[in-house]
Amino acid sequence: MKTDLNFQKILKEALREGGEFSDLYLEETHSTFIVCEEDRIEKMISGQDLGAGLRVIHQGRTFYSFTNRITQKDLLQLGDLLCHSIKEEKGEEEIFIHPPIPFPQPIVLPSPSLIEVDPDGISIHKKVSMVKRANDLARRLDPRIQQVKVLYRDYTQTLTIVNSEGKWVEGTRKGILFSVQVVSKKDDLIQTGYEPVGGTMGFELFDLYSPEEVAEVAAKRSLLMLSARLAPMGRMTVVLSSEAGGTMIHEAVGHGLEADLAQQGLSVYSNRMGEKVASSLITVVDDPTLPNKRGSYGFDDEGVPSQRTLLVEEGILKGYLYDRLTALKAGVSSTGNGRRESYHHKPIPRMSNTLILPGKMKPKEIIHSVEKGLWVKKMGGGQVNTVNGDFVFEVNEGYLIEKGEIGEPVRGAILIGNGPQILKEIDMVGEDLGFGIGTCGKEGQGVPVSDAQPTIRIPEIIVGGRESSDSLN
């Protein structure tokens, strides 16, 4: 991003009324967004968003404002606006004179992901054709399919981040997302199948997953659930496949390890550093340095280089995810997890790629160990109370396990439990690892993430369904 801005003057102006720290976040994003619904292209948007966010941290409080006009005059006015806010908060005090801000040459931090085929070089017509191919395949697969929605998005985000400590970081992020949602109907029964793929990669995504393959997975999942029996209910053994995605680790564990929630006492993991919070088989990390994953980046939205953070090691709580502000409060260094949706938002602690590390057991051995239970191939959405750890998760695709073998499909299953309790009870962990992707929402901000887990066995958990678990007999 080329500018003729005087960063020192802007940051010095922002600190005129006091403050321990100030930073300026400059963003230029080019994106393409295509949606096919009702068998036609409903949206086709290709555009640019340009803006800046200016922040001051004063006595542990954040003052933030943003603009889509990036000129010296506009950014100085933004700094003046923050000064007025700070002055109103602190009352009449002596004006604080911040020492000169030294600036070296900018540091360019590369992404951990290699882009082989830049989407910016692909015509809009070819991108539309990928969407149409998925739509056409899904619609002709089965007459019971009623609705198909295909989404394509790619983006190139160029960032410049400078702060009052003299840090000046620049870099570019690229990503792509492709998803298919299929709704099928049989009599009065309606079922939905959804399959997303993507990451910090380019158009080579479609060498890994063709549009037809993604559409077929979503469609077959929807159709399969039309013929599935109602899920049993009761306490039973559950095996979560690595294909299930890491919804449980993300929702039931990850959010509670974000330092802002932990410091506010809004997490079941607050003040539990060094305590046993999971089975000794469980090790959890957050790692934005993984190449090509949806939550990967070379530096966070405060300019801190990305790093792998150990959260739980063999069941012991080892760390939290910090941004600058929460790290300052804790007297530690940021873990590089200060993230924001865009320049409209201030950074807060967020997950990136969060995963349970693989164990040593073969997935088939885990399934063979279960006399009767539930095998979860794909998790759905859910709700978590981060204060006490209670959760409710939907199962999008599940199967009965009978005498150590995967049996018939079931629909309508819900997993009900408590995160820390379930983590402590996991007694088998597979050697495999499967990733799921998504957009994580928190405080009105959505950021790209991925989560992963091996095959794991939960010896007993409450499964909500429509039939008694006696039906397994």
| Residues 187, 235 share a domain | no
The pLDDT, as a whole number, for residue 471 is: 46
The pLDDT, as a whole number, for residue 265 is: 97
Task: Tell whether 114 is covered by a domain.
Answer: yes
| Residues 223, 311 share a domain | no
The pLDDT, as a whole number, for residue 473 is: 45
Domain boundary pick from 191, 211, 227: 227
Task: Tell whether 51 is covered by a domain.
Answer: yes
| Residues 318, 277 share a domain | yes
The pLDDT, as a whole number, for residue 105 is: 79
Q: Give the number of other CB atoms < 10 A from CB of residue 176.
A: 24
Taking CA atoms, 456 is separated from 251, 319, 339, 452, in Å, by 16, 23, 30, 12
| Residues 279, 174 share a domain | no
For residue 337, the SS3 value is: coil
**Residue 276 contacts residue 298 (beta carbons within 8 Å):** no
| Residues 236, 223 share a domain | no
Q: In what order do the strands lie in the sheet with 316-317?
A: 316-317, 309-313, 284-286, 353-356, 445-453, 434-442
**Residue 461 contacts residue 413 (beta carbons within 8 Å):** no
What are 396's strand-pairing partners?
none
| Residues 190, 262 share a domain | no
* Global pTM value: 0.94
| Residues 12, 122 share a domain | yes
| Residues 239, 214 share a domain | no
The pLDDT, as a whole number, for residue 460 is: 98
What lies within 8 Å, CB to CB, of 17 at 6+ separation is 58, 83, 84, 86, 87, 90, 95, 96
CA atoms of 252 and 233, how far apart (whole Å): 21
Domain boundary pick from 227, 251, 278: 227
Task: Tell whether 206 is covered by a domain.
Answer: yes
| Residues 75, 218 share a domain | yes
Task: Tell whether 387 is covered by a domain.
Answer: yes
Span 110-142, pLDDT tens digits: 999 999 999 999 999 999 999 999 999 999 999
Task: Tell whether 28 is covered by a domain.
Answer: yes
Domain membership of residue 51 as a residue range:
7-227
Span 15-51, pLDDT tens digits: 999 889 999 999 999 999 999 999 999 999 999 999 9
Task: Tell whether 1 is covered by a domain.
Answer: no
| Residues 108, 67 share a domain | yes
What are 38's strand-pairing partners?
none
Task: Tell whether 2 is covered by a domain.
Answer: no
SS3 content of the chain, % helix, strand, coil (to 5): 25, 40, 35
How many helical (H) and strand (E) elements, i.e. helices and strands, does the chain have?
10, 24
The pLDDT, as a whole number, for residue 246 is: 78
CA atoms of 254 and 311, how far apart (whole Å): 9
| Residues 49, 198 share a domain | yes
- CATH code: domain of residue 199: 3.30.2290.10
User: What amino acid is encoded at 325 in this protein?
Assistant: L
What ranges in 63-179 are assigned the alpha helix state H?
A: 72-90, 124-141
What ranges in 187-323 are assigned the alpha helix state H?
A: 205-208, 211-227, 247-248, 259-263
Instruction: With a cut of 50, list the residues of the chain below it in pLDDT.
Output: 93-95, 469-473
The tokens for 89 are 């908060």
What lies within 8 Å, CB to CB, of 58 at 6+ separation is 17, 18, 19, 20, 86, 89, 90
**Residue 31 contacts residue 46 (beta carbons within 8 Å):** yes
**Residue 411 contacts residue 466 (beta carbons within 8 Å):** no
The pLDDT, as a whole number, for residue 185 is: 98
| Residues 312, 263 share a domain | yes
CA atoms of 254 and 245, how far apart (whole Å): 14
Element (H, E) at 324: helix 324-330
Domain boundary pick from 227, 251, 282: 227
The domain tally of the chain equals 2
